[in-house]
Every structure is written in structure tokens, then in C-alpha cells.
Structure 1
Amino acid sequence: MSVAVTPSPPKGPGVGSGDVTDESLSGKQWRRLAISVYLPTTLSFIGFGAVTPLIALTAHDLGATTAQAAFVVALLGIGGLLGALPAGALTQRVGERRAIVGSLILDAACMAVAGFATHLWVLAAAVLVMGLSGAVLIIGRQSFLTEFIPFRFRARALSTLGGVFRVGALLGPLAGAAVVTVFDLRAAYWLAIITSLAAAATSALLPDLPEPEHHDSGEPTRMASVLRAHTRTLLTVGIGAAALMLVRATRDALLPLWAAEIGLGPAETSLIFAASSAIDLTLFYLGGSMMDRLGRRAVAVPAMVIMGAAFGLLPLTATAAGLTAIALGLGVGNGISSGIVLTLGSDASPAVGRHQFLAGWRLVTGLGQAAGPLLVSGLAAVASLSAAALTVGAIGLLGGAWLWYWVGPPPRRE
């Protein structure tokens, strides 16, 4: 039996002047959305992407061992998980705009502390708080788009947000490499400070949403009560979305290891990754359009099957051409599913307690994302990379069947 996910219509006044109805979204409203949501997200992710590859190097400069440097990098993900539930509560209390702007300013401060830290523990603390602020950003933007965008455009809006994440992740390291080459390692942190503050300034243009919902009694909605009421959704559709995140996250861990296994050099590996990323970036809007027109299942299931099959075939590859074909398949699956996890969470979120639910959703799917590289590491240690690839492939195929069962067909609309 599929979980009935009946999305509530947006209740905001609209992006830009005039109301957003469930029938249309004007060009002016899309443009304001681009300026107030997508532009600052791109800016912040460029800065984040510029700094992320350099955190380990910064830790080394402060005397960290390789294991310690890896742990400092891992604190980003740990902070994101620890911050999920508090981020939902904060966003519900102060509103999306204030939460987003405040977290971007905090992010800029953390970049400054990390860039000019003289002790390893100071860098570690800054990186942890960067993860916490990132959770606020993601939940704030997701809840804002859920409220403001008509349901018929929701998947396209959230897939575009997912595409923007990818653009920032691609441009960030390139920008970081450029400033580090011209100046020094600390220059990347200056770049991130500037992009975070610029993102905060443009995010201030976000329209206000209505006041947070409360129960009829007037009492604020409690996190525990919201999560308890929606436990079934989190353990069904949420588990399927977590599996999708696991399969996605495995690509970045497993493909480089397999490239080394078959004797490919760093340059060839980078080119294969570039080809996969290029396919990924070209398909995010197509995936959102398919979800809006054909339903969420029409994208979630094929994406999982494609990625599962690709990982299942990975042990058969022994050449650069074969690995490139696998990488392209993973790019297709990852690209068309851009925004699907955000969309499923938004569809399932209740009108009352939306922020708290999205916080729980973020925690569940974030655990899936964190589990991917750990699974590859564990299986590679006790068995082999082939076993890791086959296991992830099986999770992809089973996850596709799971999502088919629980997500359900698209709702019929009059």
C-alpha cells in the first residue's frame, strides 16, 4: 500500500507582486525567485565548494595527522546531522528569511575563524558550526519553496534548487583553485566570506511568509509530536529517499577507488568524473518537469534502477571506456533525480508543523547520505570493491521497488 501524500497548496502571498495561484507562475515571479533564492544559493555553494577541499590541507598546516584532518572534514557532515532538528525548530520560530540570512552571516563568520585559525580545535569548531548553519540553509530554502510555489511547479522549483547545488559544487573548487594559485590557501576563505555575505544580502529580498502555524490551542507545534504523528511516512517514503541518497553518495567514493583498481591515473579519473557531472547538470530541469507532469514515481524509480544497474555492472569494467559508460549512467540517474528527495519531503510535509517535519526528513535522508561512503569503506576492508559495488547496486534496485510501492501514483487533479 502506498503512503498517501496529499500536498497542501502553498499559502504564501506569492513570489513577487500579486498572488501565486495553483494555476500560474509569472515570469516576474520566476525572476524574483531566481534573485532571492537561486542566486544566493549559488553564491553560498561556490564559497562552500571553494573551501571544502581545502579544509584537510588547513588542518595539516595546523599540525593535524591524516586521521585528524579527515575527522575535521567529517565534522561538516556531523554538523549537518546534529543541526537538522534544531534547524527546523529555529526556522519555525523566526521564519525562513531571518533563519537563512542569519545562517549565512554565521557561515561567513565561521569561514573567517576557519581561515585564520591558529589551533586545530578552533578549526574543528568552526567546521562543525558550518555544518550546523548548512542545515538551516537547506531546510529554510526547502520550506520557503514549499510554501510559495504552486504544487504544479514544485518539483521543477526544487529540482532547480538541486541543480543550483550542483553548479555551486562544480564552480566552487574551480574558483578556489584560481584564488589559491594567485594568492595563498587563506584566499579561498576570503572568497567564501564574500560569497556568504553576498548571499545573505540577496536572501534578504525573500518575501515574508505567513506567521508559523500553531495548534488550535495556540500552543506552538512541538517537534516530538510532529515526528511522532508522521513516523510511518518517515519510515516508508523517508527510508526510500535515504536509500537514494546512499546510492548517490557512493558514486563519489566508489568511482575513484575503482579507477585506481583498474590502473587509471588521476587525469583520466578526473575526465571521467567531469563527463558524469556534465550529464548530471544537463538533466535536473528535465527531471523536475517529468515529476510535475508524470508524478514523483516516474523519476524516483527509474533513477534508482539506472544507478543500481550501473553499480551492479561496475565490477565487469576493466577499461577507461567501460568506466566512462558506468559514470555516464550514474550521471543520468543522479541528474534526473535532482530535487526528488526535497520534493518527496515537501509533498509529505503537513501544513501545521512543516518545518519540524522537514527537519526530521533531513535527518533521515542525511543518515542515508552519510552511510554511503561508510558502507563502501567497510565492505572494501572486509571483502572487496566488487562486493561494495554489488551491494550498492542491490540497494539501488531494491530501493527503486520500495519507492514504487510507497510513493504511489501522482494525485489526480481537476
Structure 2
Amino acid sequence: MSAPTADPGVRAALRALPGPARLLLAGVALNRMGSYVQVFVVLYVTSLGHTAAQAGLVLTGYGAGSVLGTLLGGILAERVGNRLAIAGSVLVTGVLTAVLPAAPGYLALLLTVTATGVAAQVYRPAASALLAELLPPERLVVASAVFRLALNVGAALGPLAGAALLTGSYTLMFEVNAAVSVAFGVVALVALPCGSPAPAARGARERARYADVLRDRRFALVVLALFLIALVESQYLSALPLDLRARSVPTAVYTALVALNGLLVIVGELPLTRYVQHWPMRVSIAGGIALIGTGIGLYGVGGGVAFLVAATVVWTLGEMIAAPSTLAYPALTAPEGARSRYIAALSAGQSVGYAAGPALGALLFQGLGGAVWPVFGAVGLLAAAAARSGVHQPEALRTAVPAATKT
């Protein structure tokens, strides 16, 4: 039996990524940069003379399409393979973005933006599944942290790129976005490995059933946990600014708290994951979720700016601990042939929570005021309990992780 290998650390692990994995992660960042369509769509719709309510409905259509696209992506990845699902997603997104300025009326605009939301998210399950196929299980948590870094960097740079292009026109902004998407789609089609569709022996109807995923009761608890903690975490976008305004805290403080969260995640998550990757997944996922709930709940304790910063650091630390393991978990635990569906189900549950959370937080804050924070803190701890009950250590890591940690 060969001697166990030493943990090479994050930098060495990144250098060891195969070329297709690096290409995939670069494409993830580019695709996420294209999210500025979502950022600017409200301004675009109102610039056409439509009302704010109509613009909000278009944005809701994009969000609903994103959830549907994630679920559809899980099915397509199993039926046609990961490469075709990824390439098709970005190519169709590019085409829809290109025709967006030509939409002849409000209904056509609404349908086009909704379809863009669908197409833009189809790639996500396939990308996560392909990453799992390209890497050994013991490296997948670190790779998932890199995946998130690519998403976060793309999300940070995208609006800046969109704003720069907007100095020309909305049409220019959309067309450049479309050109980048189409270009990456062609590269993905040529350069990415095909990946593994579900076994041909299984019928198409069986492969496409998400009910089978939810019948896995332990995994369904993890989906529930991610939905609940998404409701809680999204309050930094909803209840927090409302509460700070009610407490006469300057808007600059809120902006700084949001920036602090983003900065900590971009700078600190990947180095932290070097250690977290060796923890049992139940500890990293459930423990991280508990910290998110605790940090959000601490916003209700009161105190000055320093205390607000401390609460933000606590829940951001929880996010950095839980998120890479959560992203890797379905790929490591799914039955053969169902990996993409498991990935999609977990992502969709989380997306629904993020979509519903801000509206729920605003509604509860209107009725409860500052008492909303212990409510969401309790929901966060409930999510942690669900994760603790549902998460189990993947079989692939039970032997791989001890070998990786020895020096």
C-alpha cells in the first residue's frame, strides 16, 4: 500500500487543477459577470417608459426563471452530458441577451427576461457535476471554494463592467454581454470534456424525477436547512437596512457592512477552506449554518457600530465555513446517475430561500420591528439542527480525508 500523501495546501491544489477545470472556473466567473443584466434590468425597463411595478415584475420573472433553470439544468446534464448543458446554457443566454433590446413590447420583454433567467442558470448543476468528475473527492471542497471565488469575483466585476458599457447605451451593454456568452459557449463546446450523462439503461422519465431526490429523507433535510438559512442570511439585504434606518444609523454604515461581508468572503474563504476541508461535513455545514443564524440574530442585541461589525463578521465566518462544503456535498453523496439532480435540488432550495427572504423580512419587520432578529436567529438554529440531522460523511471522503491530512 502506498504511503499517504501530504496535504499540498491551497496554492498547490490550485496549481494541480487540470486544464479543463481551470477553463470551467474561468467560464463560471465570466458567466457570473454577465449577471449585470439582472442588476440593470429595472433601470432598463423604466427607461422604456414602463412603471416601477412593471419593472419589478420583470425582475421577479428573472428570479423565477433562475429557479426553473437550475432544476432544468439538473435534468439536461443527465440527459445530454455536462459539456452540452454548459455550452447550450451560455449560448442560449447570449442569444436571448442579444435580442432583448429588440423586444417589441412589455409582454415580449417580460418573457425574454424570464427565459434569460432560465437559460443563465442551466449551466450551474452541470458545472458543479463536471468539476466533481474532473477532481478526486478529497480536493472537491477546495475546488468548490474556488468555484465560489469565481462567482463572487464575477459578481463584483459584472456591475462595474455594465456601468462602464452603459455610458454608451443599454444596447451596447446587452450586446457585449451576449458576445462574451457566445464566445465562451463555443470554447466550452470545443474544449470541455463531455462528462457523463445518466446511464442509458435508466428511462428518461426516471432520470428526470426530482421526487426521487426528495424521497431521500436525509438529503431532503439538507435542502430544508439550506432553504431556511437562505431566508435568514438574506435579511442583510432587507430587514437590516430597514432596522438601521429606524435606528437612525447612517446609510454609509450599512454600505460598509455589505462591503465587509464581500471582502471577507473573497479574501478569506479560500485560505480558511484549507482547514475546513478536513472537518467532518456535518461539522462544517451545520456549524457554519449555526454561526450564520447566530450572527444575524446578534443584529437585534443593540450596541454601536462596532457591535454591528462583530455581528457581520460572525455570520460571514459561518458563510465561509459552510458554503464550500455545502457546494461539494451533493456531488459527493448523490447516487450514481443522479448527481446533477441532487446538485440542482439543493441549489434550487437555496435560491427559493434567497428569493423569498427579503420580502418576508420586510413584512415581519413591519409588524415586529427589532424583534425580528431573534425570530430569524431561531430559524437559523433550526436550519443548523436540520443540517446536523441530514448531513452524513460521504463515503468517498471517509478514507480520502485521513490520507490527505497526514504529513
Taking structure 2 as the reference length, the TM-score comes to 0.86
Query: Partners in 1 of 2:15 and 2:265 — Cα distance?
Result: 28
Does the 8 A contact of 1:92 with 1:212 survive in 2? yes
**Equivalent position of 2:246 in the other structure:** 261
Deviations along 1:322-349, one digit per CA (max 9) or x if unpaired, are: 3233223332222333333322222231
The 2-side partners of 1:282 and 1:319 are apart by 26
Aligned amino acid, residue 236 of structure 1:
L
Query: Aligned residue for 1:219?
Result: 203
Contact 1:283 1:336 in 2 (8 A): no
Greater helix percent: which structure? 2
Deviation at 1:391, TM superposition (A): 1.8
Residues 165 and 34 (structure 1), Cα distance of their counterparts in 2 relative to 1, 3 Å cut: same
Q: Do the aligned residues in 2 keep the contact of 1:300 with 1:340 (CA within 8 Å)?
A: yes
The reply on whether 1:35 has 2:22 as its aligned counterpart is yes
* AA of the residue aligned to 2:17: W
Give the residue type in structure 1 aligned to 2:309.
T
Letter in 2 for 1:128: T
Q: Tell me the residue number matched to 1:348.
A: 333
Post-superposition offset of 1:195: 2.7
Asked if the contact 1:160–1:288 (Cα under 8 Å) also holds between the matched residues in 2, the reply is no
Distance 2:169 2:16 in 1: 41
Aligned length: 388
Classify the secondary structure of the residue corresponding to 1:315: coil
Are the structure 2 counterparts of residues 262 and 110 from structure 1 closer, same or farther at C-alpha, using a change threshold of 3 Å?
farther
Residues 239-278 of structure 1: matches in 2 within 5 Å? 239-278=224-263
User: 1:210 and 1:312, CA in 2 relative to 1: closer, same or farther beyond 3 A?
Assistant: closer
Match of 1:191 in 2: 176
Whichever residue aligns with residue 32 of structure 2, its letter is F
Query: How far apart, CA to CA, are the structure 2 residues paired with 1:201 and 1:255?
Result: 42
Sort the Cα spacing of 1:343 and 1:302 in 2 relative to 1 into closer, same or farther, 3 A: same
CA gap 1:186/1:392 in 2 versus in 1, 3 angstroms: farther
Residues 1:175 and 1:264: Cα distance change in structure 2 (over 3 Å): farther
- Give the match for residue 110 of structure 1: 96
Q: Which residue matches 2:40?
A: 54
What is the aligned-residue RMSD (CA, Å)? 2.7
* Residue 296 of structure 1, CA deviation: 1.5
Match among 129, 133, 136 for residue 143 of structure 1: 129
1:402 to 379, 382, 386: 386
For the structure 1 residues 260 and 347, does the alpha-carbon distance in structure 2 shift closer, same or farther, using more than 3 Å as the test?
Answer: same
Deviations, residues 76-96 of structure 1 (Å, cap 9, x unaligned): 220122233332222222111
* 1:94 equivalenced with 2:80 (yes/no): yes
**Aligned equivalents of 2:393 and 2:192: distance in 1?**
33
* Matches of 1:253 and 1:201, distance apart in 2: 39
Contact 1:291 1:297 in 2 (8 A): no
Please state if 1:169 is matched with 2:171: no
What is the CA–CA distance in structure 2 between the aligned matches of 1:91 and 1:72, rounded to whole Å?
28
SS of structure 2 residue aligned to 1:173: helix
Aligned mates of 2:192, 2:33 — CA distance in 1:
20
Are the equivalent residues in 2 in contact too, given 1:227–1:356 (CA < 8 A)? Answer: no
Give the fraction of aligned pairs with identical amino acids, expressed as a percent. Answer: 24
Q: Which amino acid aligns with 1:387?
A: A
CA distance in 2, matches of 1:337, 1:116: 42
DSSP-derived class of the 1:383 partner: helix
User: Quick one: which amino acid aligns to residue 108 of structure 1?
Assistant: G
Instruction: From the superposition, tell whether residues 282 and 230 of structure 1 become closer, same or farther in structure 2 (CA, over 3 Å).
Output: same
Counterparts of 1:291 and 1:221 in 2: how far apart (Å)? 38
Correspondence 1:85 to 2:83: no
Unaligned segments of structure 1, at least 5 residues: 1-22
Question: Quick one: which amino acid aligns to residue 77 of structure 1?
Answer: G
SS at match of 2:103: coil
**Residue 45 in structure 1 maps to residue 29 in structure 2:** no
Q: Which residue of 2 aligns with 1:233?
A: 218
Where do 5+ consecutive residues of structure 2 fail to align? 1-6, 401-407
Q: Partner letter of residue 106 of structure 2?
A: L
| C-alpha distance in 1 between matches for 2:93 and 2:213 | 33
Q: Is the 8 A contact 1:44 1:192 kept in 2?
A: no
3-state secondary structure, aligned to 1:337: helix
**CA deviation digits over 1:148-187, x for unaligned, max 9?**
221111111122112211111111112222222x323333
Cα 1:380–1:28 shift into 2, 3 Å: closer
Matches of 1:66 and 1:211 in 2, distance apart?
Answer: 43
User: 1:219 is matched by which residue type in structure 2?
Assistant: G
Matches of 1:175 and 1:264, distance apart in 2? 31
Letter in 1 for 2:231: L
Q: CA 1:274 to 1:393, structure 2 compared with 1: closer, same or farther past 3 Å?
A: same
- Tell me which residue corresponds to 2:287: 302
